[in-house]
Structure 1
Amino acid sequence: MSDSRAGIFWDAVEGRAPMPRAAQTLGFEFVDADAELGTIDVAFTATEAFTNPMGEVLGAFLAAMLYDTVGPALLATLGPGEFQSTLDLQVSFLRPARVGRLRGTGRVLRRDGDIAFLAAELRSADEELVATATATARVISLR
């Protein structure tokens, strides 16, 4: 794992490059990462535009937030010239989420060569577990 803060992910987080539009839409906020441990903490801002007729955040937005947690967990460990390609994502919705700040925690469970196994949790402002995800990704070269 890389301990330098260089590459596509770090360039966006540290303002050297624009944040991806999807992350902007989700109200993505980088909180912290430990590249050596393969962990990340992020936050999202769920707006009224994300809700269903019941006023709950639509599951597709929660899945997108989890996707934008597991991917960066791996990206934070990669060096310049590397990126990740998600192979699968499984999401479990545990309880409704309301408009407001949601906190994502992600981690690299295991990496074997260019394949990584990832996990994430999404919690409400009052720390209730809202949804979880696991994913498999492949590390790819951008060169």
Structure 2
Amino acid sequence: MGKGIFQKMLDGELPLPRAAATLGAKIIEVDPSAGTSIIKFDGKEEFTNPVGNIQGGFLAAMLDDTMGPALTAMLDENEFAPTLELKINFIAPARVGLLTGFGHVISKGGTVCVLEGELKQNDKLIARASATALIRKIK
């Protein structure tokens, strides 16, 4: 991974990961020095539950794909940090349409990292997340 990966995606040199592409992700900003990210997602009709809201699992995936880039941008090119634990608080229902994720690295240790994220729709808080990730070397 590494610091240049997100710029390469923005420049069209690298494709988005398939999971992020499925979610309609668009990288808006990743700041390695601040450990932050802003990612927009397309809440698709295909993601809805029987009452027409975006199903919680898709919102969780969006939050994971928001927090991950904030940390990944801080890692060395030979490192990756899979999520070990993910906790979601669903605050309000999400409708079909644009959602914006805000990710933040709270703590980056030698191997264990703590992350937080928020998902908003029309400036309304939809869900909050916290996660623990483990830095690993890519072999």
| TM-score range for the pair, normalised by the shorter chain length | over 0.9
Structure 1 gaps, min length 5: none
Q: Distance in 2 between matches of 1:14 and 1:117?
A: 29
Match of 2:16 in 1: 19
**From 94, 101, 106, the counterpart of 2:103:** 106
Q: Which amino acid aligns with 1:51?
A: T
Q: Residues 29 and 51 of structure 1: is their aligned pair in 2 closer, same or farther, counting only changes over 3 Å?
A: same
By how many angstroms is 1:40 displaced? 0.6
What is the identity percentage for the equivalent residue pairs of Structure 1 and Structure 2?
Answer: 43
1:38/1:107 contact within 8 Å kept: yes
Q: Distance in 2 between matches of 1:106 and 1:134?
A: 10
Q: Distance in 1 between matches of 2:15 and 2:29?
A: 18
1:93/1:132 contact within 8 Å kept: yes
Q: Which amino acid aligns with 1:20?
A: P
Normalised TM-score (structure 2): 0.93
Match of 1:96 in 2: 93
Q: Residues 116 and 13 of structure 1: is their aligned pair in 2 closer, same or farther, counting only changes over 3 Å?
A: farther
Match of 2:40 in 1: 43
1:86/1:136 contact within 8 Å kept: yes
- The 3-state SS of whatever aligns with 1:60 is helix
Structure 2 gaps, min length 5: none
Q: Distance in 1 between matches of 2:74 and 2:10?
A: 13
Question: Structure 1 stretches (4+) deviating beyond 3 angstroms?
Answer: 9-14
2:3/2:32 contact within 8 Å kept: no
Q: Distance in 2 between matches of 1:108 and 1:44?
A: 20
Q: What's the C-alpha RMSD, in Å, of the aligned pairs?
A: 1.5
Q: Distance in 1 between matches of 2:138 and 2:10?
A: 19
Match of 1:142 in 2: 138
Task: Count the aligned residue pairs.
Answer: 138
Normalised TM-score (structure 1): 0.90
Deviation track 1:65-109 (CA, whole Å, cap 9, x = no partner) reads 001111111011112111111110000100100000000000000
Q: Which amino acid aligns with 1:96?
A: P
Q: Distance in 1 between matches of 2:59 and 2:118?
A: 10
Q: Which amino acid aligns with 2:137?
A: S
Q: Residues 11 and 140 of structure 1: is their aligned pair in 2 closer, same or farther, counting only changes over 3 Å?
A: farther
